[in-house]
Amino acid sequence: MLFHKMPFNYVPAKNLLDEKIVLITGSTGGIGTALSMKCAELGATVIICGRSIAKLEKLYQSIFELGLKEPLIYPADFLGTKKDDFQILTKKIEKEFGKLDGLVLNASLLGNLSSLDDYSEKMLDEVMQVNFKSQFLMTQCLIPVLKKSESASVIYSSSSVGRKAKAFWGAYAISKFTTEALVQIWASEHENISKIRFNAVNPGATRTKMRAQAYPAENPRNLPTPEKVILPYIYLLSADSHCISGQSLNSQDKP
């Protein structure tokens, strides 16, 4: 995997994502919420996706009250979603918009932080279902509408433990290694057959609920907020990164 660095002085243009349709999973918290808001501010029509309808409606209201383009709500619990669900979604997007310009696979399940010796089969299945299988199937089903975009971008949220494994990170680390593999395989397979770009972003330590679960003794005030780590996602969603595919970016790289 090549670890690409975003231009350190990158500043998104005001209407950078104007006329773009962007679907973001895990929209109801942390990085997903911050990214959904920013994409809408930059002109995109955002399809917000998450488990909690109440949180999706709250996010919808926040975007709507700013006078931005009306978002669409797509409730989904990836523990139970099937390929048929994503095929239905694809048809809805094609009917409503005719294309999809951006897909951000951000939803993740932490699972248990325990040794592999003691890791339960149930938790293994759940983490791999949310972090790998559902994301693979969603991407696979959405390929036809992504191909209809002039410059589609697919972005997976990765992790440092998906590059160098750490003890006790179990299925989460395994799933993030899989994420990096998906990016490499899809990018190489589409290099000469479509304009779809596939990349990953490792946001690094961020002030989120998942981070607090993984490091309960850590002071969250010492960590950057989600709003501070989303710039690489914006960069990869834009035409400014039109030649970049098969790469893995770090949100907290220093210039």
Residue range 130-172, pLDDT digits in tens: 999 999 999 999 999 999 999 999 999 999 889 999 999 899 9
pLDDT band at 98 (very low <50, low <70, confident <90, very high): very high
Report pLDDT for 221: 79
- Beta-bridge mates of residue 10: none
Domain limits, the chain: 21-250
For residue 235, indicate whether it is catalytic: no
- The token duo for 56 is 């999706």
CB 253 within 8 A of CB 235: no
- The token duo for 196 is 């779809």
Encode pLDDT of 102-116 as tens digits.
Answer: 999 999 999 989 999
Report pLDDT for 255: 43
Please, how many CA atoms are within 13 Å of residue 211, restricted to the half-sphere of its CB? 20
| Annotated catalytic residue within 172, 215, 233, 235 | 172
What topology does CATH give the domain 21-250? Rossmann fold (3.40.50)
Place of tokens 């191909």: 147
More reliable by pLDDT, 228 or 88: 88
